[in-house]
């Protein structure tokens, strides 16, 4: 019984010292800004063909100085659902443009691009035509 109470007291003292040292560390708050640049191309009425290469563009004129995530990613959306098709990734979101290759997909006029940096922004709907799929 004496061993148990000594062990408990030692463990409690250790835990208390760890908690005291953790709470003594000053906390600093970093201000981070979410940046969601609007997609400027493709725009409504744009027609892409499978296999072609296009420049996706977005407006960076209002980019804040502190951006949470500067790495961009572009995914394809169809009928309001984001697909797993990655058209581009790991690019600097402040570039304002990136070249992508149009994948072979079902033809439709309800495609959008989902541009991710900190947060996703959708392009207007546009058309992809292909090989009669």
Q: For the chain, which domains are there?
A: 39-129 (2.60.40)
- The CA distance from 74 to 28, in Å, is 33
On the question of pLDDT at 45 being above 90, the answer is yes
Q: Three-state SS for 18?
A: helix
| Residue ranges of E strands in the chain | 39-41, 47-49, 53-58, 71-78, 81-92, 97-101, 108-116, 120-122, 126-129
pLDDT digits (tens, 9 = 90+) for 55-98: 999 999 999 888 888 899 999 999 999 999 999 999 999 999 99
57 close to 40: Cβ distance less than 8 angstroms: yes
Q: Given this model, what pLDDT does residue 26 score?
A: 59
Residue 4 has pLDDT above 60, yes or no: no
Q: Return the structure tokens found at 33.
A: 């800004």
The pLDDT, as a whole number, for residue 36 is 84
DSSP state of 86: E
C-alpha pair distances (Å), 42 with each of 61, 62, 76, 80, 124: 18, 20, 12, 16, 7
pTM: 0.73
């Amino acid at each position: 019984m004496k061993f148990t109470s000594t062990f408990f007291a030692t463990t409690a003292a250790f835990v208390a010292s760890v908690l005291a040292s953790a709470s003594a560390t000053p906390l600093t708050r970093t201000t981070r800004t979410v940046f969601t640049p609007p997609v400027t191309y493709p725009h409504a009425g744009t027609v892409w063909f499978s296999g072609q290469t296009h420049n996706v563009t977005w407006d960076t004129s209002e980019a804040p100085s502190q951006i949470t995530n500067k790495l961009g990613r572009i995914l394809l959306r169809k009928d309001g659902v984001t697909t797993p098709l990655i058209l581009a990734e790991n690019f600097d979101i402040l570039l304002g443009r990136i070249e992508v290759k149009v994948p072979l997909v079902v033809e439709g006029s309800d495609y959008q691009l989902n541009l991710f940096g900190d947060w996703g922004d959708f392009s207007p709907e546009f058309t992809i035509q292909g090989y009669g799929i």
